[in-house]
């Protein structure tokens, strides 16, 4: 089965989220957990950005052994030199160089002509290959770039020695169809592309990062980049846990495998949330608090008869606690009885009915029914003659 590499950028693009700032100790703790999770590559920071980032990248490069460790660099020698200083101690030194290729970025941000951009990209890749065995080159804002120009510059960086080429949807603008087509076009039109890895990097500005990443995989992407819990610039990056679980659950559709240990997902998600202070929305796919919670009576009844009726993923798969049947105003008698038995009550049908009637009245008044509420209702019936 075709293998897809998972490139985690929680510690670089993820840390670029407004309000997130991790210190070196926190970054090392997350990097160790990412290694346990089984990601192929950890982007541990941007060594030239600050002494703190440099230190964290260097320490992670010296600590992590089972994942490749990389750092981000602009296409300038000073960034590449700084990255080499930070990453030379890694098992397999890897650098990630980027340069924008869209007309708006080249003209208004870089103030370079397309030819100058090609030259800078080629020079930086050649220079990086003097030190690094693994060089990833990213065409920033690729999805808003001219496709022929993109194919041209990629051909040049491949010739210059890049080992991976990344095609970011930097501003989350592409649709799944467009993004998938880009991968197919580049695979078919760039000389030497089959000798390098082609990578997808999606942002979530229009909520399409997961769909776009999966479209890239369907069209031949060898590597996908994202973050845990989808943290990242603006609306964030693609959430890697969603990709890993989708590829697992829909294996016959995608036909690829990753090295992710799915049982480590929940723990990784919680660690990242705690250390970054970035809360997870309750209805977040895969790792949200409600991802395995069922409230409606019809759903709860189905779940009690056969969990596959309403759950395509089991909480155990991602290392989560068991499914929760939340008792609220939509819940049915079946789930109420099930909970009463689990709480140790053995009531007659009549007493159970009375308790259920009281529970429904309470559920209309109260947003959340907690264990103590049930205890009072059920005890009341138990001691009532
Ligand atoms: O979104 C982006 O384009 C990036 C690059 C630096 C790869 O994060
Ligand atoms: Zn990005």
Specify the pTM. Answer: 0.94
* Residue 111: Cβ-neighbour burial (10 angstroms; 0-12, 13-18, 19+): exposed
**What does the pLDDT look like over 148-189, one tens digit per residue?**
999 999 999 999 999 999 999 999 999 999 999 999 999 999
**What does the pLDDT look like over 205-243, one tens digit per residue?**
999 999 999 999 999 999 999 999 999 999 999 999 999
**How many residues make up the chain in this entry?**
385
**Residue 380, annotated ligand binder?**
no
Nearest atom, ligand 1, residue 138 CA: 7
* Cα torsion 259, 264, 265, 269: sign: negative
Q: How far is the CA of 318 from the centre of ligand 2 (A)?
A: 26
Contact 209, 230 (CB under 8 A): yes
Contact 186, 150 (CB under 8 A): yes
**What does the pLDDT look like over 136-150, one tens digit per residue?**
999 999 999 999 999
CA dihedral 326, 329, 334, 339 (to 10 degrees): 40
Residue at token pair 């799944």: 176
Output phi, psi for 255, to 5 deg.
60, 35
> Does ligand 1 lie within 6 Å of residue 9's CB atom?
no
Q: How far is the CA of 125 from the centre of ligand 1 (A)?
A: 17
**Residue 353, annotated ligand binder?**
no
Q: How far is the CA of 168 from the centre of ligand 1 (A)?
A: 6
Q: How far is the CA of 307 from the centre of ligand 1 (A)?
A: 40
- What integer pLDDT is reported at residue 322 of this predicted model? 79
> Does ligand 1 lie within 6 Å of residue 168's CB atom?
yes
Nearest CA to ligand 1 atom 2: 170
> Does ligand 1 lie within 6 Å of residue 227's CB atom?
no
**Residue 5, annotated ligand binder?**
no
Among candidate residues 347, 302, 353, the one with its CA nearest the CA of residue 323:
302
Q: How far is the CA of 237 from the centre of ligand 2 (A)?
A: 7
Residue 318 has pLDDT above 60, yes or no: yes
Let me know the angle formed at the C-alpha of 279 by 54 and 33, rounded to the nearest 5 degrees: 50
Nearest atom, ligand 1, residue 72 CA: 6
Which chain residues have CB less than 5 Å from ligand 2, an ion? 13
Nearest atom, ligand 1, residue 13 CA: 8
CA dihedral 193, 198, 204, 210 (to 10 degrees): 120
């Amino acid at each position: 089965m075709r293998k897809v590499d998972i490139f985690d950028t929680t510690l670089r693009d993820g840390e670029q989220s407004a309000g997130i700032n991790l210190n070196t100790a926190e970054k090392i703790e997350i990097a160790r957990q990412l290694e346990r999770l089984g990601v192929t590559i950890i982007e541990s920071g941007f060594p030239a950005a600050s002494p703190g980032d440099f230190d964290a990248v260097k320490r992670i490069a010296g600590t992590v052994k089972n994942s490749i460790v990389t750092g981000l660099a602009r296409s300038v020698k000073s960034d590449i030199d700084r990255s080499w200083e930070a990453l030379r101690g890694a098992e397999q030194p890897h650098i990630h160089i980027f340069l924008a290729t869209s007309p708006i970025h080249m003209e208004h941000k870089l103030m370079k002509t397309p030819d100058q951009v090609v030259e800078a990209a080629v020079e930086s890749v050649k220079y990086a290959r003097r030190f690094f065995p693994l060089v990833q080159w990213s065409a920033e804002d690729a999805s808003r770039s001219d496709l022929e120009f993109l194919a041209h510059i990629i051909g040049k960086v491949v010739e210059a020695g890049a080992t991976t080429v990344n095609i970011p949807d930097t501003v989350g603008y592409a649709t799944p169809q467009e993004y998938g087509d880009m991968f197919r076009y580049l695979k078919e039109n760039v000389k030497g592309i089959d000798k390098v890895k082609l990578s997808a990097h999606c942002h979530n500005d229009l909520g399409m990062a997961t769909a776009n990443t999966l479209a890239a995989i369907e069209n031949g992407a060898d590597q996908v980049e994202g973050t845990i819990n989808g943290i990242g610039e603006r609306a964030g990056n693609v959430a890697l846990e969603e990709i890993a679980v989708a590829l697992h659950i829909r294996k016959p559709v995608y036909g690829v495998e990753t090295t992710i240990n799915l049982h480590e997902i929940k723990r990784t998600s919680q660690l990242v949330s705690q250390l970054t202070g970035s809360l997870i929305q309750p209805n977040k796919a895969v790792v949200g608090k409600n991802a395995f919670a069922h409230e409606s009576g019809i759903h709860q009844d189905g779940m009690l008869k056969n969990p596959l009726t309403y759950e395509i993923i089991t909480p155990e798969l991602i290392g989560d606690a068991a499914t929760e049947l939340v008792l609220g105003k939509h819940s049915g008698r079946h789930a109420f009885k099930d909970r009463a038995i689990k709480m140790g009550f053995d009531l007659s049908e009549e007493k159970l009915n009375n308790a259920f009637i009281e529970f429904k009245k309470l559920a209309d008044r109260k947003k959340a029914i907690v264990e103590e509420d049930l205890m009072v209702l059920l005890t009341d019936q138990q001691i009532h003659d």
